[in-house]
């Protein structure tokens, strides 16, 4: 069975995840600029107020940066993994596509609760691409 469209969508999903990771990475190098006095105070507290986190002195800004970096690395790593796997058997790609779709669906739920429209758009687009890849890949035969 010809699985070329499924493979193309799978590779497109991998590239989209790499793009998502790179776009998200830009936020790690931008310093927020407060729009008013209240935001200035908030940013000042986020950057200077330290609290004990199981023996480590951290600021809220440290935690936000760490989670943000983790998200970017996860998207980049999964995109690279998908690219490396893209020449494997259709049966493997079918399983990896559904794992990607489940991860992305979970991330969309989190994004809808905690984030804003841009990350939700990137995640939803990736989800759609991997669902199409899964549909277009030939069904694996079960014995």
Q: Model confidence over 14-68: pLDDT tens digits? A: 999 999 999 999 999 998 899 999 999 999 999 999 999 999 999 999 999 999 9
Residue 142 has pLDDT above 80, yes or no: no
Model pLDDT, residue 138: 87
Dump the DSSP string for 43-95: HHHHHH--EEETTEEE-HHHHHHHHHHHHHHHHHHHHHHHHHHTTS-HHHHHH
Q: Is the pLDDT of residue 135 over 90?
A: yes
Confidence (pLDDT) at 32: 87
User: Of 67, 77, 91, 63, whose CA–CA distance to 20 is shortest?
Assistant: 77
Average pLDDT over residues 125-132: 98
């Amino acid at each position: 069975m010809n699985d070329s469209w499924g493979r193309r969508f799978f590779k497109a999903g991998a590239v989209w995840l790499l793009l998502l990771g790179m776009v998200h990475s830009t936020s790690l190098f931008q310093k927020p600029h407060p729009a008013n006095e209240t935001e200035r105070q908030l940013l000042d507290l986020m950057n200077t107020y330290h609290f004990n986190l199981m023996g480590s002195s951290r600021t809220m800004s440290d935690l936000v940066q760490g989670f943000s970096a983790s998200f970017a690395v996860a998207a980049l790593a999964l995109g690279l993994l998908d690219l490396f796997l893209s020449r494997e058997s259709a049966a493997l790609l079918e399983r990896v596509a559904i794992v990607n779709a489940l991860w992305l669906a979970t991330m969309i739920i989190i994004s809808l609760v905690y984030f804003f429209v841009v990350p939700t758009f990137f995640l939803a687009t990736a989800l759609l691409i991997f669902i199409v890849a899964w549909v277009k890949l030939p069904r694996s035969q079960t014995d």
